[in-house]
Amino acid sequence: MSNQLEPLADPGLPHHVHRKADTDPAAEKRAERQVSILFLLSTAGTLLFIYSFIWIPTDLFVFVPLLGNINAHNLGIGAGLGFALFFIGAGAVHWAKTLMPDEEVIAQRHQMRSSDEDRASFVETVKAEAGKVQLGRRSMIKRSLGLALGLVGLSPIILLRDLGPLPEQRLLKTTWDKGVRIVTDPGNRPMKPEDLEVGAIAHVLPQIDDPEHRKLSDIAKDAAILIRVRPAELKLSEERMSWTHEGIIAFSKICSHMGCPVALYEQQTKHLLCPCHQSTFDVPTGAKVIFGPAARPLPQLAITVDSEGYLVAAAPFDEPVGPSFWERNI
Amino acid sequence: MITRREKIAGGVANFIDERTGAAKWVKKNLQKVFPDHWSFMLGEIALYSFIILLLSGTFLTFWFVPSQEELVYNGSYQPLNGVKMSAAYESTLNISFDVRGGLLMRQVHHWAALLFLAAMVAHLMRVFFTGAFRKPRELNWIFGVALLTLGIVEGFLGYSLPDDLLSGTGIRIAEAIIQAIPVIGTYLAFFAFGGDFPGELFIPRIYTVHVLLLPGIFLALITVHLMLVWYQKHTQYPGAGRTEKNVVGYPLLPVYMAKAGGFFFIVFGVTVLLGAFASINPIWIFGPYTPTQISAGSQPDWYMGWLDGLVRMAPPLETYLFGYTISWNILIPGLIVPGIIFTGMALYPFIEAWATGDKREHHLLDRPRNAPTRTAIGAMSLTFMVVALINGGNDLIATHFNLSINQIMWGTRIGIIILPPLAYVITKRICLSLQRYDRELVLHGRETGRLVMLPHGEYIEVHEPISPEKAYQLTQHEQALPLEAPGPDTNGVAPRGSLKSKVRARLSKAMLGEQIAKPTADDVKALEGGHH
């Protein structure tokens, strides 16, 4: 290619063209005025800011075309401060562009690399200093220092040990257990099968003694949903069928993908949809994944009714709820 | 005559110089030359929005309570009265409704964060496409990649702090990603959250990381980044009078100082105006976080959108081995692909230098068309990110344009495999076409659109020669040849490390193999000789 051939010659920096303000005193005066006007606009902005801050009530809403109903206080102080800052900048830039010297300057570059002498003397200095320390000869010191430094580096990790407890069985268990009543969320009211019509969905939690102080970390595992369909529509194994009650089927509400609540139910298609990543679960087939990134069905909760006719769990979940983790044993 | 003012200034200067010896350094550096170009302001915007973030963020810390302690709201936002929420969420409501200027500062902080990330990405693109990362600036490129990575983390932690329904959902997803790490994931998650999700410790912990640890690292990295720019002197675009050995521009004082300082105020002003006119992250509408609720159309901030989009499009793959679970559906999009992207980005300057065998310093920027393969790689990566980002908003696209979400998902699943290579090929072709256009321009001049009838009836379009400056600009770049792999010696024995050199030769050919020969002085002369 043309590498060895002679390239076009560099004609050098183009001739400088003067601005109007450099040659015409009237233009110079005008530019000066413009800069001052910009700075004065900034002052007006600050005044608007101060006025709005003190005198516009914080709960006053005004209608602004395109923006709708917005808070007048926020608008006033924001517009004031915004213009105050903007026009300082605009003034400075205009000043620089019209009145400050605009002739380009050429400076020379120097290679980053140090000169050969400097590099050589650097190497010598390092060698000489290392020789004084006799690091090469004192291998015992070198090794024991390495060991000490390596070990002391572990201590921050050890220090952080109490950041949290070990996982133990915590991810495997929920509050649900045999005979635990199913209560509404919110409301904490026990439910009977007739409270749920065919086609309806209920968001539920296990009944506990002190529902006012339910812990979020319990809710994050316990949350479940009840869906009622016609029993004939369920396509489940005999065992799973026995986990349902009169067409009411219960699933963990915590997505088996990344733990978002699976809260969207399409009554017509009987699909559950997770709004986070669009994993779609088919209710009649036991929440099998029919679309999206989730790899497992939502865990099904076995339910039945107790002696008073209230819906209860027939057994705890038979698998961990929520997203996967290393120790999760299928 | 020495005026009173000069006397005072002299006194101050004397005081400082006698204690620091600064006069020599300042004298030298006040005249420091900075080249001027609009694209050099992208990094400036990133720097200025960082300063705005420090200022507005400090304001917010005066009222924000980083605590997940549960309480019942009783304040000036009526719709949430009596609702149980965390102290963090309550204090964010108070900042929004009861602290004058609080809402403005919250919105300025959030807008500045979006701008910070956007400016960093734009700056990165400018540096990449113009080859500014080449020697001696590879280290600064790596600092930049580190800043961008930390910026994404910092932004995520920031919008997680208010503990509203949207951000709590984001934390839940982050927890699932940590938990998916093989072997140690469950332990890491329990250590990060101080027990089960969500617990009461996460917000206070990420608060310290968000306001102290990461900003500290940012300040250190930005300082080193700028010191290197200062020390190595800024790159410049090629053109007449500009060489690898000089730098053409305006001196620091007064022009550059006035422009850069003025530009800081402009960026600050625009950010405040955004905070005034454009509502962002209205957490009072989302409500407090609870693990059982969610709103449809949950979206992360834009710089996390591509990650969320990748997670959404991942195939439902899990492996169960000896009683252990590996969640490929989370690991691949959440950790492996981002890991490859950011590592590849950090190493790119070294890969390119290895492939081209170029060990020289470069201070003149490339015009993207003259580095077709690099430009194509950039376009390919951007296409990948954009497809992922689109899928991150697939639910909103589906509802706004009445499309099926399944179709969008399948479209992006296929698109993310097909479109990036396609973008590569198309971009490379466009670059070569532009090279050809440049060649035409130098050899035959500019088309004037003026048609002239010659005496014998032939019509021609008049071409006007371009200026010598323009011609130089279009031809100053060098066109290096690809490296050749050393062949077997006379005995037919392949040289050592022959696979490595073969890979290198292949890369080198991809990098430099296709170029449109630029016009030389001889070409132009020959043409002038036989001009028609």
pLDDT in tens, B319-356: 998 889 999 999 999 999 999 999 999 999 999 999 99
pLDDT tens-digit series, residues A178-236:
999 999 988 899 999 999 999 999 999 999 999 888 899 999 999 999 999 999 999 99
Alpha-carbon dihedral angle through residues A60, A66, A67, A69, given to the nearest 10 degrees: 30
pLDDT tens-digit series, residues B420-437:
999 999 999 999 999 999
In sequence order, the β-bridge partners of residue A204 are A184, A224
Identity of the residue in A93, A102, A330 whose CB atom sits nearest the CB atom of B262: A93
CB contact under 8 A, A86 and B313: no
The pLDDT score that the predictor gives to residue A330 is 64
Size of interface A-B (CB pairs under 8 A): 349
The pLDDT score that the predictor gives to residue A181 is 95
Identify all chain A residues contacting B167, using CB atoms and an 8 Å cutoff: none
pLDDT, mean of residues A157-181: 92
Identify all chain B residues contacting A278, using CB atoms and an 8 Å cutoff: 312, 394-395, 405, 409
CB contact under 8 A, A109 and B409: no
User: What amino acid occupies position B390?
Assistant: I
The pLDDT score that the predictor gives to residue A4 is 56
State yes or no: pLDDT of A7 exceeds 90.
no
In sequence order, the β-bridge partners of residue A245 are A248
The pLDDT score that the predictor gives to residue A2 is 41
Identify all chain B residues contacting A324, using CB atoms and an 8 Å cutoff: 179-180, 318, 325, 327, 330
| Claim to verify: residue B146 and residue B264 sit in the same structural domain | yes
Instruction: Give B100 to chain A, closest Cα distance, Å.
Output: 7
At B148, which CATH number?
A: 1.20.810.10
Instruction: Give A224 to chain B, closest Cα distance, Å.
Output: 9
- Identify the burial level of B518 via C-beta atoms within 10 angstroms of its C-beta, where 0-12 means exposed, 13-18 middle and 19 or more buried: buried
Instruction: Give B179 to chain A, closest Cα distance, Å.
Output: 5
The pLDDT score that the predictor gives to residue B296 is 76
- Residue A199, C-beta contacts closer than 8 angstroms, at least 6 positions apart: A228, A229, A267
Lowest mean pLDDT among B80-84, B487-491, B519-523: B487-491
pLDDT, mean of residues B179-191: 94
Identity of the residue in B103, B196, B294 whose CB atom sits nearest the CB atom of A217: B196
Residue A275 contacts B where some CB pair is shorter than 8 Å: yes
Distance, CA of A24 to CA of A279 (rounded, Å) = 70
State yes or no: pLDDT of B531 exceeds 70.
no
CB contact under 8 A, B273 and A217: no
| Claim to verify: residue B291 and residue B425 sit in the same structural domain | no
Instruction: Give A216 to chain B, closest Cα distance, Å.
Output: 7
Instruction: Give B17 to chain A, closest Cα distance, Å.
Output: 26
| Claim to verify: residue B289 and residue B371 sit in the same structural domain | no
Distance, CA of A130 to CA of B421 (rounded, Å) = 53
Identity of the residue in B196, B248, B255 whose CB atom sits nearest the CB atom of A106: B248
Instruction: Give A142 to chain B, closest Cα distance, Å.
Output: 30
pLDDT tens-digit series, residues A110-129:
888 899 999 999 999 988 88
Is residue B119 helix, strand or coil?
helix
| Claim to verify: residue B269 and residue B418 sit in the same structural domain | no
Boundary-marking domain end, from B243, B270, B301: B301
The pLDDT score that the predictor gives to residue A186 is 87
Identity of the residue in A13, A101, A221 whose CB atom sits nearest the CB atom of B241: A13
The answer to whether residues B272 and A48 touch, using CB atoms and an 8 Å cutoff, is no
Instruction: Give A16 to chain B, closest Cα distance, Å.
Output: 12
- B21 torsion bin: left (phi>0), alpha (psi -120 to 50), beta (else): left
- Quick one: pLDDT band at residue A296, thresholds 50, 70, 90? very high
What domain count does chain B have?
2
| Claim to verify: residue B282 and residue B409 sit in the same structural domain | no
- On whether residue B345 sits in a domain, the answer given is no
State yes or no: pLDDT of B399 exceeds 60.
yes
Q: Give me the phi and psi of A157, to 5 degrees please.
A: -65, -40
Identify all chain A residues contacting B408, using CB atoms and an 8 Å cutoff: none
Identity of the residue in A96, A217, A257 whose CB atom sits nearest the CB atom of B199: A217
Is residue B459 helix, strand or coil?
strand
The pLDDT score that the predictor gives to residue B529 is 64
| Claim to verify: residue B289 and residue B388 sit in the same structural domain | no
The pLDDT score that the predictor gives to residue B177 is 96
Mean pLDDT of chain A: 91
CB contact under 8 A, A71 and B103: yes
- Residue A274, C-beta contacts closer than 8 angstroms, at least 6 positions apart: A255, A257, A260, A261, A262, A264, A280, A281, A292, A294
| Claim to verify: residue B290 and residue B383 sit in the same structural domain | no
Dihedral sign for Cα B511, B517, B520, B524, please: negative
- On whether residue B253 sits in a domain, the answer given is no
One DSSP character per residue, B108-154 reads HHHHHHHHHHHHHHHHHHHHHHTTTTSTT-HHHHHHHHHHHHHHHHH
Helices B394-401 and B405-444: angle between axes, nearest 10 degrees: 90
CB contact under 8 A, A295 and B327: yes
Residue A53 contacts B where some CB pair is shorter than 8 Å: yes
Top residue of B267, B325, B432, B523 to mutate, by most chain A CBs within 10 Å, is B325
Nearest residue of chain A to residue B231 (CA atoms) = A112
Its domain, for residue B288, covers 35-232+260-301
Q: Are strands B446-453 and B459-464 parallel, antiparallel or unpaired?
A: antiparallel
CB contact under 8 A, B199 and A263: no
Top residue of B272, B279, B473, B511 to mutate, by most chain A CBs within 10 Å, is B272
CA-wise closest residue to B392 among B370, B416, B364, B369? B416
Could you tell me how many residues make up chain A?
330
- Identify the burial level of A119 via C-beta atoms within 10 angstroms of its C-beta, where 0-12 means exposed, 13-18 middle and 19 or more buried: exposed
Q: How many CB atoms lie within 10 A of CB B292?
A: 20
The pLDDT score that the predictor gives to residue B277 is 94
State yes or no: pLDDT of A21 exceeds 90.
no
Instruction: Give B453 to chain A, closest Cα distance, Å.
Output: 33
| Claim to verify: residue B292 and residue B376 sit in the same structural domain | no
pLDDT tens-digit series, residues A83-109:
999 999 999 999 999 999 888 889 999
Continuous H helices in A134-210: 139-159
Identify all chain A residues contacting B289, using CB atoms and an 8 Å cutoff: 216
Boundary-marking domain end, from B272, B301, B330: B301
Boundary-marking domain end, from B268, B301, B334: B301
The pLDDT score that the predictor gives to residue B530 is 54
ipTM, two decimals, is 0.92
Instruction: Show the tokens assigned to B3.
Output: 């005026």
Mean pLDDT of chain B: 92
Nearest residue of chain B to residue A256 (CA atoms) = B176
Which CATH number describes the domain made up of A182-313?
2.102.10.10
Give contacts of A 14-43 with B, CB under 8 A. Answer: 14
Distance, CA of A85 to CA of B55 (rounded, Å) = 14
The answer to whether residues B355 and B128 touch, using CB atoms and an 8 Å cutoff, is no
CB contact under 8 A, B273 and A167: no
Identity of the residue in B241, B248, B266 whose CB atom sits nearest the CB atom of A86: B266
Give contacts of A 54-113 with B, CB under 8 A. Answer: 58-59, 67, 70-71, 73-75, 77-79, 81-93, 95-97, 100-102, 104-109, 111-112
CB contact under 8 A, A276 and B186: no
| Claim to verify: residue B172 and residue B292 sit in the same structural domain | yes
The pLDDT score that the predictor gives to residue B493 is 73
CB contact under 8 A, A73 and B100: yes
Instruction: Give B249 to chain A, closest Cα distance, Å.
Output: 5
CB contact under 8 A, B196 and A220: yes
Helix, strand, coil: what percent of chain B each, to 5?
Answer: 65, 5, 30
Residue A251 contacts B where some CB pair is shorter than 8 Å: no
The pLDDT score that the predictor gives to residue A1 is 41
Is residue A186 helix, strand or coil?
coil
Identify all chain B residues contacting A326, using CB atoms and an 8 Å cutoff: 181-186, 324-326
Query: Tokens 């924001």, residue?
Result: A78
The answer to whether residues A291 and A278 touch, using CB atoms and an 8 Å cutoff, is yes
| Claim to verify: residue B437 and residue B526 sit in the same structural domain | yes
CB contact under 8 A, B244 and A2: no
- On whether residue B161 sits in a domain, the answer given is yes
Nearest residue of chain B to residue A2 (CA atoms) = B517
- Quick one: pLDDT band at residue B532, thresholds 50, 70, 90? very low
Instruction: Show the tokens assigned to A162.
Output: 């109490």
In sequence order, the β-bridge partners of residue A312 are A181, A304
CA-wise closest residue to B71 among B58, B50, B90, B52? B90
One DSSP character per residue, B13-36 reads HHHHHHHH-HHHHHHHHHT-EE--
How far, CA to CA in Å, does A65 sit from each of A70, B12, B282? Answer: 10, 54, 20
How far, CA to CA in Å, does B174 sit from each of A293, B161, B180, B257? Answer: 16, 14, 10, 43
Nearest residue of chain A to residue B84 (CA atoms) = A212
pLDDT, mean of residues A278-304: 95
CB contact under 8 A, B361 and A219: no
pLDDT tens-digit series, residues B246-300:
999 998 888 899 999 999 999 999 999 999 999 999 999 999 999 999 887 778 8
Identify all chain A residues contacting B315, using CB atoms and an 8 Å cutoff: 293
pLDDT, mean of residues A48-69: 91
Instruction: Give A99 to chain B, closest Cα distance, Å.
Output: 10
CB contact under 8 A, A328 and B325: yes
pLDDT, mean of residues B137-164: 96
State yes or no: pLDDT of B26 exceeds 90.
no
Lowest mean pLDDT among B304-308, B438-442, B489-493: B489-493
Instruction: Give A80 to chain B, closest Cα distance, Å.
Output: 9
